[in-house]
Amino acid sequence: MSIGRPQGRGASGARRAATAALLLLAAALALALLAGCGSGSSTVIFKDKTEVQTGSGEAQTGSGEAQTGSAAESGSSGEAGESTEELPEVAVEASSPGFNAARIYEEAVPGVVTIRSIFGSAGGAEGSGFVLDSNGEIVTNAHVVTDESSGTRKPASEVFVEFENRNVLEAQIVGFDPFADVALLKVEPEGFPLHPLPLGDDKALVVGQPVAAIGSPFGEQRSLSVGVVSATDRSVKSLTQFQIEGAIQTDASINPGNSGGPLLEEDAKVVGINQQIETNSGANDGVGFAVPISLIEHSVEQLRENGHAEYAYIGVSTQPLYPQLAQKLGLDTEFGALIANVVPGGPAAKAGLRGGNGTIRFQAAEYETGGDVIVEVDGQEVTQPDSLIKVIDEKVPGEKVKVTILRDGKRQDIEVTLGKRPDQIEPE
């Protein structure tokens, strides 16, 4: 006997019984729904989205808020059939289209290039870059087009730039800046149009803001990765003994070959160029850094004009002061920069600034003590670890600045004539 499906009259009777049961169940559900009318439920219609919420009737998306009111305001007494008002429909539109990785890629990728450098017997390198203007200027990292294997940093003997349309042009190195790890290249478009990328504002970035990186990781051209701004105002390694200040930290995937490629915000504007990763494994561990576009613009302006970039230099190494440390040292200030060392013969030494002459260990760190404490430069307070270098970076070599220090419990002003930042500092 088959047990797969019923046959004959018995099956027909079973179907009638099942149908009757379903009708009874539907009727019960209808009564339950009718009884629930006016219980405080509301429907809020958003652009591309409808949400149903219960209870207080409040719904929120982004920065917009829509509220339908309480159950009493909607005419509900909690009993079936007593609601006489229709629930309102509230349409809320987003204030901006938001972050759209596909749109950003479509807009930006024609302006992203792959760069190949040849260093003769030293081999070659591959990285990324972006088109700065329609005259053929290309921006990338200095380490993509220079080599230091001989002990002195030298430019590549040949550089080639490949565009999205597969055209490959030879590029000239206009100049490179090892302090910012920036290089400016120039190609002759030869009749085909270029796609310059617009520049954004790295100062307006906030932690958590989404960003996109485009480049050629491991030679995989025009690859997209997305992430967020993990932090701003980071200090990272340059190609010299000095740090790059104001770097952007991101968890967007950055790997070898991404160097020099653009980091983009939601309007497909360049806010930095991807420069390095922090890793213990050799692979991307979610800690990448980009040179901020404000520093790139400052560098490119000098490279275009002079072929090299110069930065002001004060000649001190400092440690940040904070309230608990200041109290420990008995200083009449909560913030500032403790001068640990003064470079012999440097601008600060010539002006008479003093470095530390003792050492203490406090809160798991070691500090140089006994030196001057810089509290202001040209009236700008030194309140953050990078405050001093930021002020100096805004100056030019040869400019005079007023440095306010705390020495022996008293404040005094000292005039310092800034020098030109050296490629390297000779050890004492």
- Per-residue pLDDT reduced to its tens digit, 331-364: 999 999 999 999 999 999 999 999 999 999 999 9
Sole residue written with tokens 């617009």: 198
**Residue 325 host element (H or E):** helix 323-329
Residue 68 has pLDDT above 60, yes or no: no
User: Helices (H), strands (E): how many in the chain?
Assistant: 7, 29
Structure tokens at 119: 């260093």
Q: Is 53 exposed, middle or buried (0-12, 13-18, 19+ CB in 10 A)?
A: middle
Q: Is 19 or 272 the better-scoring residue by pLDDT?
A: 272
181 in active site? yes
pLDDT at 317: 95
Residues written for the chain: 428
Q: Please provide the distance, in angstroms rounded to a whole number, between the alpha carbons at the two ends of the chain.
A: 101
Residue 41's φ and ψ, nearest 5 degrees, are: -70, 150
298 in active site? no
Give the pLDDT band of residue 108 (cuts 50, 70, 90): very high
Point out the catalytic residue in the list 74, 76, 83, 181. Answer: 181
> Which residues belong to CATH 2.40.10.120 in the chain?
102-306
Mean of the per-residue pLDDT values of the chain: 82
Point out the catalytic residue in the list 117, 128, 143, 147. Answer: 143
308 in active site? no
pLDDT at 223: 96
How confident is the model over 148-190, as pLDDT tens digits? Answer: 988 889 999 999 999 999 999 999 999 999 999 999 999 998 8
Point out the catalytic residue in the list 117, 223, 259, 387. Answer: 259
Pairing of strands 243-250, 182-186: unpaired
How confident is the model over 387-423, as pLDDT tens digits? Answer: 999 999 999 999 999 999 999 999 999 999 999 999 8
Report CA Rg, the chain. 32
Structure tokens at 88: 């309102």
Whole-structure pTM value: 0.75
pLDDT at 410: 95
Structure tokens at 145: 């087009």
Which are the contacts of 232, defined by CB distance < 8 A and separation ≥ 6? Answer: 202, 205, 206, 207, 246, 248, 249
Structure tokens at 40: 């405080």
Residue 37 has pLDDT above 70, yes or no: no
Q: Which CATH architecture has domain 312-420?
A: Roll (2.30)
Fold of the domain spanning 102-306: Thrombin, subunit H (2.40.10)
> Which residues belong to CATH 2.30.42.10 in the chain?
312-420
Mean pLDDT of 47-65: 36
Q: ∠ CA 298-397-273 to the nearest 5 degrees?
A: 20
Which are the contacts of 387, defined by CB distance < 8 A and separation ≥ 6? Answer: 337, 380, 381
Give the pLDDT band of residue 329 (cuts 50, 70, 90): very high
How confident is the model over 221-280, as pLDDT tens digits? Answer: 999 999 999 999 999 999 999 999 999 999 999 999 999 999 999 999 999 999 999 887
